[in-house]
């Protein structure tokens, strides 16, 4: 029950500041509860199936999801995540902790670029690059999906900032479209990545239930208070969350 309680508190904080927090979940499970890093990664990635489901549906209702892009990139991402899970299984735990910490720091840099420099809508179609079509679309979707999928599967972090930056740069989406479509991309990516960890023997279903229950309950409550924080605080918190996760892994390894 202690894991459920800690995940609930963490979920409230993450829901409050509007951050994903997969890296912090991995760090807390590994450093605080002594869960092996491989199992922590598999649990974090699998939990994202449930924690992003409501977000994806909400964005769909708001018209923020570009379905074709989300489905195509998500399917390629799922393949990459399955491969990534088996890559992680072949790496020593200590080495994987350091690599995951580095990925979290890189995620923080990309999030900083995302929230402080890509925070405005594209003003008009004339001001943006055209979206790729035909063969170019599938090549771009495959490349973005496979790369971010492998990152998600190997490091269990969801690769949200990588996906969002990719959608902004390569598919010329608005900031809201990139946020909503990313949620859709993560669903199949996290699902097949979790299957990859399961087949590799690194997914504890009881632990997954505890983590998911705590996070979803806490995030639901925390999200209700998000509007009480100034945008500057929310942006800073979003960048600080992966940094915190990375620091925990570095000092706990």
**Apex 5 CA angle, 41 and 231, nearest 5:** 75
Cα(178)–Cα(246) distance, integer angstroms: 25
Cα(47)–Cα(52) distance, integer angstroms: 9
Q: Higher pLDDT residue, 124 or 92?
A: 92
pTM, 2 dp: 0.83
Question: Which of 6-20, 112-126, 221-235 has the lowest average pLDDT?
Answer: 112-126
Percentage of residues in the chain having pLDDT higher than 90: 41
Q: Higher pLDDT residue, 214 or 229?
A: 214
Question: Which of 94-98, 168-172, 173-177, 207-211 has the lowest average pLDDT?
Answer: 173-177
- pLDDT of residue 222 exceeding 80, the answer is no
Max mean pLDDT range (22-31, 36-45, 225-234): 36-45
Q: How confident is the model at residue 233 (pLDDT cuts 50, 70, 90)?
A: confident
- Compute CA 64 distance to the chain's CA centroid, rounded to the nearest angstrom: 18
- pLDDT of residue 125 exceeding 50, the answer is no
Average pLDDT (63-90) is 94
* Structure confidence at residue 251 (pLDDT): 86
């Amino acid at each position: 029950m202690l894991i459920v309680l800690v995940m609930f508190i963490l979920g409230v904080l993450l829901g409050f500041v509007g951050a994903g927090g997969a890296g912090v979940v991995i760090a807390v499970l590994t450093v605080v509860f002594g869960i092996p890093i491989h199992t922590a990664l598999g649990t974090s990635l699998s939990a994202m199936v449930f924690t992003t489901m409501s977000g994806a549906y909400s964005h769909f209702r708001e018209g923020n999801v570009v379905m074709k892009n989300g489905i195509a990139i998500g399917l390629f991402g799922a393949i990459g995540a399955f491969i990534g899970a088996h890559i992680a299984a072949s790496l020593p735990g200590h080495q994987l902790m350091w690599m995951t910490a580095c990925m979290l720091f890189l995620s923080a840099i990309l999030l900083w670029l995302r929230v402080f420099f890509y925070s405005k809508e594209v003003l008009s179609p004339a001001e943006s690059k055209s979206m790729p079509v035909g063969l170019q679309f599938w090549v771009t979707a495959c490349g973005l999906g496979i790369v971010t999928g492998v990152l998600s599967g190997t490091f269990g972090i969801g690769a949200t900032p990588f996906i969002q930056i990719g959608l902004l740069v390569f598919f010329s989406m608005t900031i809201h479209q990139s946020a909503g479509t990313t949620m859709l991309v993560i669903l199949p990516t996290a699902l097949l990545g979790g299957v990859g960890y399961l087949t590799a023997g690194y997914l504890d279903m009881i632990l997954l239930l505890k983590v998911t229950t705590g996070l979803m309950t806490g995030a639901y409550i925390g999200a209700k208070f998000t509007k009480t924080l100034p945008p500057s605080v929310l942006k800073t918190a979003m960048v600080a969350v992966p940094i915190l996760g990375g620091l925990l892994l570095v000092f706990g390894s």
